[in-house]
Amino acid sequence: MNKVFFGIILGGVLGIFDGLSALLSAPEVRPQIAGIVVGSTIKGVLTGALIGFFSRKVNSLPLGILFGAAVGLGLAYLVVLAGNPYFLEIMLPGGALGLIVGYATQKFGRPARSRGAVSSPSREG
């Protein structure tokens, strides 16, 4: 699976758990959990896509982890800026998501195939 697609899938799955973590860290948000999970999943998919594109261009595990953390924390901070009072409850899972996706895309995602790699059969005759 190429790095971009792998990042999107992993980011989406981890985004679900990111949203569900609100039940543990702030149980009073239980009535809004469906919206939180949907929003966190979208944020995870976006995080995974950005990290996947970066990982496709830059083949470095330390830089992938650093970029992943920056993207995860940056997108989580945008949620906090929207007026959410749960700073740590949003920033910690968002940063963890970015770290994990940054590591995994560098370590396990395959580079995209180059467009010129497809060979046509030769016509010898």
Q: CA-CA distances (angstroms) from residue 49 to 21, 26, 119?
A: 22, 28, 29
**Sequence-ordered alpha helix ranges (H) in 33-119:** 33-57, 61-81, 87-108
- Which residue is listed with tokens 């005759």? 125
Q: What pLDDT is recorded for position 68? A: 97
Q: The whole model's pTM is what?
A: 0.85
Positive or negative torsion for Cα 86, 87, 92, 98: positive
Angle at 106 between CA 104 and CA 110, to 5 degrees: 100
pLDDT for position 110: 85
Amino acid (1-letter code) at residue 45: V
Residue 109: per-residue pLDDT: 85
| Ramachandran assignment for 57, one of left (phi > 0), alpha (psi -120 to 50 degrees), beta (any other) | alpha
Say what the pLDDT of residue 114 is. 64
The pLDDT, as a whole number, for residue 119 is: 53
Please answer whether residues 105 and 6 qualify as being in contact, where contact means their C-beta atoms are separated by less than 8 angstroms. yes
pLDDT in tens, the chain (125 residues): 899 999 999 999 999 999 999 999 999 999 999 999 999 999 999 999 999 999 999 999 999 999 999 999 999 999 999 988 999 999 999 999 999 999 999 999 887 676 655 555 555 54
Cα–Cα distance for residue pair 77/11, rounded to 1 Å: 17
What single DSSP character describes residue 2?
B
Pick from 58, 52, 73, 54: nearest CA to 5? 52
